[in-house]
């Protein structure tokens, strides 16, 4: 069984190379029954059946098309790897299980719709993907194990191609005039609002990465001396030009405008306590000790439509195209005959993938 699963892993890695850009989580959905059938024919796989549900058992039918335990198990495991990096609670796993099944059902529905509309696959593009796959992995020691599965992979890619062509056709009719773009801009001000910003200057007294504790003490003392001179009325910009080791030194330490989150937390905390024209006490940062001066503030403001017109148009088009696609999915779901059996309910109570 381990030998066969290693071959699967090679296949999945290869598919990730040739299938960039297809729908998330759908890389291994449709022809899995074929690949699973090859594995199930091995003695080890038959032995595993005694310890868990039959991989060939149907758990859902979608307009007469079956989704088996084995097909969903592989799909779900991949989906979990995409969503969970450090494990998750049983509740989260159960939630992702339902999401994965919903996506797999959508894949079935969309493929059926593409077939119903007699949308041909892009065979030339698929052949190029298969050729790229062979060029990259053909010299691998595992290629002989993988090669018998190439027809199933090509069939899968042809199916995905049909789905992608259908999506492009659904989205291609989307067009927006100036009034619609402006309406989108006015309805979504948060998308075009710049956050508050602070105009900041800095004087950096640096400490080398290999600096000793004594180096840090000297830097702190020097920064404190400069701070005292600023409080006594000396010009911050002139002192920056003389002492700062930051790249902004020759411009008087002027960093321009920065937003929340761009500076280290300890720096932001020090700036938050300032009024315009005031300077922080020395702040220890990664590079040494620094003094920050607040030169000005800019409140959050909505960018004029004329400035963001092109970005608003792109966002509005993307939103409308997604709406058209989701409307198709909604219509397909509403008219579909989807039947879950008892095995799916049992899997829901376990909150796990069916095969272990």
Close Cβ partners of 345 (under 8 Å, ≥ 6 residues apart)? none
Residue 55's pLDDT band (cuts 50, 70, 90): confident
Give CA separation, 285 vs 193, 203, 320, in Å: 30, 12, 46
The whole-chain average pLDDT of the chain stands at 82
**278 band by pLDDT with thresholds 50, 70 and 90:** very high
In sequence order, what DSSP letters do the residues of 52-107 get, joined into one string?
S--TT-EEEEETTEEEEHHHHHHHHHHHHHHH-SS---HHHHHHHHHHHHHHHHHH
Q: How would residue 54 be classed by pLDDT, with cut points 50, 70 and 90?
A: confident
pLDDT tens profile 185-207? 999 999 999 888 999 999 999 99
pLDDT for res 345? 67
All structural domains of the chain, each given as residue ranges with its CATH number in brackets, are 2-175+321-350 (1.10.4030), 196-299 (3.10.50.40)
Burial of residue 240, with CB atoms counted within 10 A of its CB: 0-12 exposed, 13-18 middle, 19 or more buried:
buried
| Lowest-confidence region among 13-17, 107-111, 229-233 | 13-17
For residue range 237-258, list pLDDT tens digits in order: 999 999 999 999 999 999 999 9
């Amino acid at each position: 069984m381990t030998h066969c699963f290693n071959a699967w892993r090679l296949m999945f890695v290869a598919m990730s190379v040739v299938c960039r850009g297809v729908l998330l989580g759908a890389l291994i959905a449709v022809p899995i029954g074929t690949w699973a059938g090859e594995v199930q024919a091995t003695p080890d796989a038959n032995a595993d059946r005694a310890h868990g549900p039959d991989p060939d058992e149907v758990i859902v039918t979608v307009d007469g098309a079956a989704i088996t335990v084995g097909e969903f198990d592989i799909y779900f495991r991949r989906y979990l790897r995409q969503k969970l990096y450090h494990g998750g609670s049983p509740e989260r796993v159960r939630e992702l299980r339902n999401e994965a099944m919903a996506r797999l059902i959508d894949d079935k529905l969309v493929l059926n719709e593409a077939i119903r509309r007699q949308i041909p696959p892009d065979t030339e593009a698929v052949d190029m993907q298969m050729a790229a796959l062979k060029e990259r992995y053909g010299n691998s020691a595992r290629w002989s194990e993988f090669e018998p599965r190439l027809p199933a992979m090509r069939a899968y890619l042809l199916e995905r191609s049909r789905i992608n062509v259908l999506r492009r056709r659904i989205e291609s009719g989307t067009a927006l005039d100036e009034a619609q773009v402006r309406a989108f801009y006015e309805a979504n001000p948060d998308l075009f609002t710049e956050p508050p910003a602070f105009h900041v200057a800095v004087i950096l007294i640096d400490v080398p990465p290999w600096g000793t504790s004594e180096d840090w003490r000297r830097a702190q003392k020097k920064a404190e001396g400069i701070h005292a001179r600023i409080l006594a009325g000396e010009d911050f910009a002139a002192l920056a030009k003389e002492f700062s080791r930051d790249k902004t030194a020759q411009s008087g330490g002027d960093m321009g405008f920065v937003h929340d989150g761009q500076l280290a937390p300890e720096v932001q905390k020090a700036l938050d306590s300032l009024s315009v024209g005031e300077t922080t006490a020395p702040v220890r940062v990664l590079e040494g000790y620094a003094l920050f001066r607040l030169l000005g503030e800019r409140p959050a403001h909505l960018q004029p439509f004329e400035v963001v017109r092109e970005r608003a148009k792109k966002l509005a088009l993307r939103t409308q195209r997604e709406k058209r696609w989701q409307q198709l999915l909604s219509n397909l779901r509403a008219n579909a005959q989807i039947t879950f059996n008892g095995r799916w309910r049992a899997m829901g109570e376990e909150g796990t993938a069916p095969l272990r």
